[in-house]
Chain A
Amino acid sequence: MGTAVATGVMPREAARPGSLARQQARFGLLLAMPAMAVFCAVILWPFLDSLRRAFYEDTLMTPEPVFVGLANFQQLLEDGTILGTWLVTAAFVLLTTAFTFALGFAWALILNERFRGRTLVRALSLLPWVLPSTVVAFLWAWLLNGQYGILNAVLLKVGALSEPVAWLATPEGAMAGIVLAKTWLSIPLFTAFLLAGLQGLPREQVEAARIDGAGNWHVLRHVTWPHLRPTIAVLLVLGALGNLQQFDVIYAMTGGGPVRATTVMSVEVQRQAFQAWNLGLAAAVGVVWFLTILGPAWLRLRAAMREA
């Protein structure tokens, strides 16, 4: 103190408890500001605006949006197509997520083994992932085309068919087609996650189980599966979220048809917004879609918070 007075320099006020933490928090907030600003401008604001729009009549014919309360939701219910759209969405998400997981898991187990050319096979496995999804959709649409499709050509050649089949022309065929295409597209992502998980599995545990007499099935069920469970949980939630948001593959392959057999929520929003020019109704479908996504998103968020 005396030194301070002698040199004319005032001592710094003793830091109050918690002030450092507050300073750090402020600095952290400052660093996050640009990202927050972008998030607000690009995601939050359009999201809130579309929520608001669901309560307005906003069509090509209305110069200014008119507040109509819940009328858009009432119209969706009275029209009766929203339930069908929701069920189609649920079927697509369940089937695609399940098939992608099963095949991705099997492929990850294979790629985790040692064999010649493993690196090359791993690299090639990523191919569907690096292709643009619309390209993949058009490729599958061509493969399954009723008049020119390679599948028909091969089956006709080997005598398995007597005449061409329009695979995407039936509700079941179209659903199978889009599930197939999206599964093919997503397998690399699932495989990469699961392969990373498998590589974190200690070899000793597997060897110990084998010494105890466990066969492949038992090792998979009692050693590998419990080890991968957290990864699988995250993967299934992320996969389901991605499939709930799927648009381009479905739109490019079937356009939501035949009739409405592959009209999922995203396709319905596009149809209302950019074909029927009914932005209010499109926003109302978007709200139903958002509420549907909220379930898996909440699961994912909860898991993330726990990890944090």
Chain B
Amino acid sequence: MHKRAQVRRRALLGGTAALLAAGSARAQAPGTVTFIGWSHDEAASRPVLTEAFERFRTANPGLRLETIGFPWAQMQQNLVLRVRSSQPMDVAQIAERWLPQFARVLQPADMREVLGTELERAIDPGLLRIGQVGGRQLGLPWTAASIGMVANRKVLADAGVGEMPRTVDAFADALRRIRRSHAEVVPYAFSTKNNLSMSPDFQVWLWTFGGRLFDTEDKVVVDSDAGRAALSFLVGLAREGLVARDVDRPDSRRLIAQHRTAFYHDAPLARGFARDNSGQGAAFDQHIAAFATPVLRAGEPTRSLMWGHLLTLPNPRGARMAADAPAVRFIRHMALDDETQIAYFRAVGLFPVTRTALRTLEGDSYVVEWTRNAGTAEMDEPSTWPNAADLTNIVGEEVQAALLLAKPPAQAITDMANRLRRATANQRRT
């Protein structure tokens, strides 16, 4: 009886294994590309991406393209679950700041090996940086720019601010003038609510003041004069009522579209949001400008945060990938084809990445300014650690505590440094 039970159990296990093997085999069946992403799940991007997928199908009649979309907020979770359950995934869309962590999970193919010289011929090396980890090109930029600043020209003009402030002092003066002229306007819609927004926005100011969260030897160095000065500057703005509490990106996007804020941080999509939220469409473009984050002293480079969406080729088995493999043809169609790239930009305002597509937009001052400002963009510092989310929360929480005046800036910086040291004590940076 016991033996029979064992036989049955073995048969069951064997059957399950066979089914799994069949599933796995199907996952790698030639001629099928499974694409996992979030953009084609979003209402604004869906029509243009559906069209792009159809064009790929038409151009590749022998291939079967399966597209699976998840909401942005659930994307990471679903990527992990798909990897752990060995479900098919030939191409995965990821945000640039997830790459260091997901490089270990997805083990993507190196795009340089897959695309060869075609890669650098098509995309500027400055843009390619956002898809690099440890010197390898693990992500192909699909859209790339920075989290920079945008300004509302009308609010500035109404307050008598004639030209864009270039230095930190001029910026603070401009905010004061705006505050005096419009009581109901939030001069600077700095994020004060969500750690995921507060951490990058604070880092931009930290770099502007000459500080860093970590040095090149992975030591925590935020508790420096520069760190304290950066946070004190922001707390000073909060004390003067120049930034508001309880503000996150969606709030800032609405505020600028209603001429109720002069500055905030965002990705290039800012203009698209302003068009939608104002109800004026492209007519609102005249009020929106890409704004270079002010510098401490004239002549210093403006600071911003690298930002972009990447396409990766998950390759946990390290198989050699041919340049004309179905998945490679698909990423080439999405990221290196000018028609797809420009159509995507026209529909939702996401910047293209190819040199040739960018050249066609040289008449658009918003794109030109933004691209120039993004030239000195830097990588989000926590994202290069395996416990990036923890570190982002720590930075956000301490910045928020200081902005809410729950603790002095110097104390918040000391606490941030101590908490970061504890959190990175047993971790190794990517």
Pairwise interchain contact A147-B244, C-beta atoms closer than 8 A: yes
Known: A148-B254, A171-B404, A277-B389. 6 other contacts (CB 8 A): A61-B101, A61-B104, A168-B246, A277-B76, A278-B387, A278-B390
A199 to chain B, nearest CB (A): 44
Listed stretches A107-115, A232-240, A253-261, A291-299; interface member: A253-261
Pairwise interchain contact A275-B389, C-beta atoms closer than 8 A: yes
13 A-B interface contacts by CB (under 8 A): A59-B387, A61-B386, A146-B245, A146-B246, A146-B247, A147-B260, A166-B246, A170-B245, A257-B397, A257-B400, A259-B406, A271-B393, A277-B76
Cβ of A13 < 8 Å from any Cβ of B?
no
Task: Give the contacting residue for B80; candidates A60, A167, A260; CB below 8 A.
Answer: A60
A interface SS class:
loop
A155 to chain B, nearest CB (A): 15
**Smallest CB-CB separation from B189: which chain A residue?**
A147
Cβ of B331 < 8 Å from any Cβ of A?
no
Cβ of B32 < 8 Å from any Cβ of A?
no
Cβ of B304 < 8 Å from any Cβ of A?
no
**Smallest CB-CB separation from B241: which chain A residue?**
A163
Cβ of B286 < 8 Å from any Cβ of A?
no
Interface residues of B in 379-400 (CB under 8 A from A): 386-387, 389-390, 393, 397, 400
Residues of A within 8 A of B115 (CB): none
Query: In the complex, how many residues of chain A place their beta carbon closer than 8 angstroms to a beta carbon of chain B?
Result: 27
Query: In the complex, how many residues of chain B place their beta carbon closer than 8 angstroms to a beta carbon of chain A?
Result: 31
Number of cross-chain contacts by CB at 8 Å: 75
Cβ of A186 < 8 Å from any Cβ of B?
no
Task: Give the contacting residue for B194; candidates A59, A163, A255, A278; CB below 8 A.
Answer: A255
Residues of B within 8 A of A168 (CB): 246
Pairwise interchain contact B386-A170, C-beta atoms closer than 8 A: no
Instruction: Decide yes or no: A166 and B80 within 8 Å by CB, A259-B401, A277-B389 being known contacts.
Output: no
Residue from the set B245, B260, B397 with the largest chain A CB neighbour count within 10 Å: B245
Instruction: Decide yes or no: A146 and B244 within 8 Å by CB, A257-B193, A259-B400 being known contacts.
Output: yes
Pairwise interchain contact B105-A60, C-beta atoms closer than 8 A: yes
Instruction: Decide yes or no: A60 and B245 within 8 Å by CB, A148-B254, A258-B404 being known contacts.
Output: no
B401 to chain A, nearest CB (A): 5
Interface residues of B in 390-430 (CB under 8 A from A): 390, 393, 397, 400-401, 404, 406, 422
Pairwise interchain contact A147-B186, C-beta atoms closer than 8 A: yes
Q: How far is the CA of A171 from the CA of B389 in the complex (A)?
A: 22
Task: Give the contacting residue for B404; candidates A146, A148, A169, A255; CB below 8 A.
Answer: A169
Pairwise interchain contact B386-A169, C-beta atoms closer than 8 A: no
A84 to chain B, nearest CB (A): 12
Contact digits for A140-169, partner B, Cβ 8 Å, 1 yes 0 no: 000001111000000000000001001111
Cβ of B54 < 8 Å from any Cβ of A?
no
